[in-house]
Amino acid sequence: MKRSVTCLSISILLFAFCFAASPASAEHAFIANQGRKLFRFDENGSLDWEMEIGGAPHDMHVLPNGNLLTHEGTRVVEIDLQKKERVWSFDSKSLATESAVELHSIAPLPNGQVMVALSGEGKIYEIDRDGKVHHSITLKRDHPHPHRDTRLVRPLADGGYLVAQEGDGVVREYDHDGKITWEYDVPMFGKPAQGGHGPEAFGDAVFSALRLPNGNTLIGTGNGHSILEVTPAKEIVWQVHQNDLDGITLAWVTTLEVHPNGHIVIGNCHAGEDNPQLIEIDRDKKVHWQFKDFKHLGNAVSNSQTLSATSGVIR
């Protein structure tokens, strides 16, 4: 009898050890938008706070000081997230010569200036906090449109820019002088274009592109429902398509984040209430974390940023 109890005790201890030693799924605090509101969720998925803003942003960046750089329509704003107050703003429409312009991407620059990509004008500006333009480049646009010239634009280490040009269905790399040094035409994979925003839609309305340390480019194809990694020679070496993730349907693939462990956090917009708005996967397409909240968020979460990992994240 004593031996049986001892064996049972050892088994329980071994089970407890194995359970404790197994790696837990990642949980992320994050900030996201739904329409004209910002929401912050903690690592347990509970809502910390929400804030009304003056427009639905497509881009946001948490700054080293903890504030948020984002935009309300064409107005670039820095928000103190503790006080939920705007501490700086600049209306980029004042830079435009065209009457119809939209702002979909902004980014902090290493020198303290701010990048502003103005669709309709077809230009990228580097401005200081007084709104003075220190540099600008003009984008190639095959199908110019104030709503579709660009989605996310990312500064590169060499001073150039990687630009997701939604209306053209192309990712273009520009050097600091505005010369195109690389471009990638997002493939349709032999499928016909299908209008709309949900899972039934299809196209090449590319939303995001990140340059990886190996020189490849990771692309969120928007209504192409996919993530593609392509080489400088434009070869696809890794991809995730609409139904590759177990139990999840991808719709409008928006933001991408590459974490130091190699995992990728995906924004999944317009996918409907059966699907999560945020998903974390590894290179084997295993889902490590997902977030779905249709009480506070909804079907139009166009942008987000995880807060748990503060360094080494490519976004």
For the stretch 36-68, pLDDT in tens is: 999 999 999 999 999 999 999 999 999 999 999
Taking the mean position of all CA atoms in its chain, how far away is CA 189? 23
Q: Is the pLDDT of residue 19 over 60?
A: no
Of 168, 165, 167, residue with least CA distance to 154: 165
Is residue 9 over pLDDT 70? Answer: no
Does residue 245 have a pLDDT over 90?
yes
Token pair 């980014």: residue: 107
3-class DSSP assignment, residue 273: coil
pLDDT of residue 26: 55
263: alpha, beta or left? (left if phi > 0; alpha if psi -120 to 50): beta
**DSSP bridge partners of 47:** 41
Between the alpha carbon of residue 309 and those of residues 43, 213, 260, the distances in Å are 11, 18, 9
pLDDT over threshold 70, residue 11: no
With 60 as the cut, is the pLDDT of residue 214 above it? Answer: yes
Q: Are 176 and 162 in contact (CB under 8 A)?
A: no
From the list 201, 90, 103, 209, the residue with the least C-alpha distance to 147 is: 103
Contact 184, 217 (CB under 8 A): yes
Buried b (16+ CB within 10 A) or exposed e, 152-163: bbbbeeeebbbb
| pLDDT of 75 | 98
What pLDDT is recorded for position 179? Answer: 98
In contact, 258 and 313? CB cutoff 8 Å? yes
**DSSP conformational letter for 139:** P
Spell out the residues 6+ positions from residue 163 whose beta carbon is closer than 8 angstroms to its own.
Answer: 117, 124, 139, 150, 153, 171, 172, 173, 174, 209
Cα–Cα distance between 157 and 175 in angstroms, integer? 10
149-189 pLDDT, tens digit per residue, is: 999 999 999 999 999 999 999 999 999 999 999 999 999 99
Give the pLDDT of residue 99: 95
Length of the chain: 315
Which residues share a beta bridge with 38? 33, 51
Of the candidates 94, 62, 60, the one whose C-alpha atom is nearest the C-alpha of residue 75 is 94
User: Residue 18 has what pLDDT?
Assistant: 35
Q: Which residue in 58, 181, 175, 62 sits closest to 124, CA to CA?
A: 175
The confidence score (pLDDT) of residue 310 equals 67
Q: Is the pLDDT of residue 278 over 90?
A: yes
Q: For the chain, which domains are there?
A: 33-150 (2.130.10.10), 186-315 (no CATH)
The Cα–Cα gap between 227 and 105 comes to: 20
Nearest residue to 304 (alpha-carbon basis) of 264, 265, 270 = 265
**pLDDT for 156:** 98
Name the strand (E) or helix (H) holding 20.
helix 2-21
Could you tell me how far CA 21 lies from the centroid of its own chain?
32
Average pLDDT over residues 283-297: 96
204: left (phi over 0), alpha (psi -120 to 50) or beta: alpha
- pLDDT tens column, 215-229: 999 999 999 999 999
pLDDT in tens, 108-147: 999 999 999 999 999 999 999 999 999 999 999 999 999 9
pLDDT in tens, 71-118: 999 999 999 999 999 999 999 999 999 999 999 999 999 999 999 999
Structure tokens at 139: 């984008």
Q: What is the pTM of this model?
A: 0.91
Question: Would you place residue 15 in the very low, low, confident or very high pLDDT band (cuts 50, 70, 90)?
Answer: very low
Looking only at the bridges linking them, the beta strands covering 264-269 and 75-80 are: unpaired
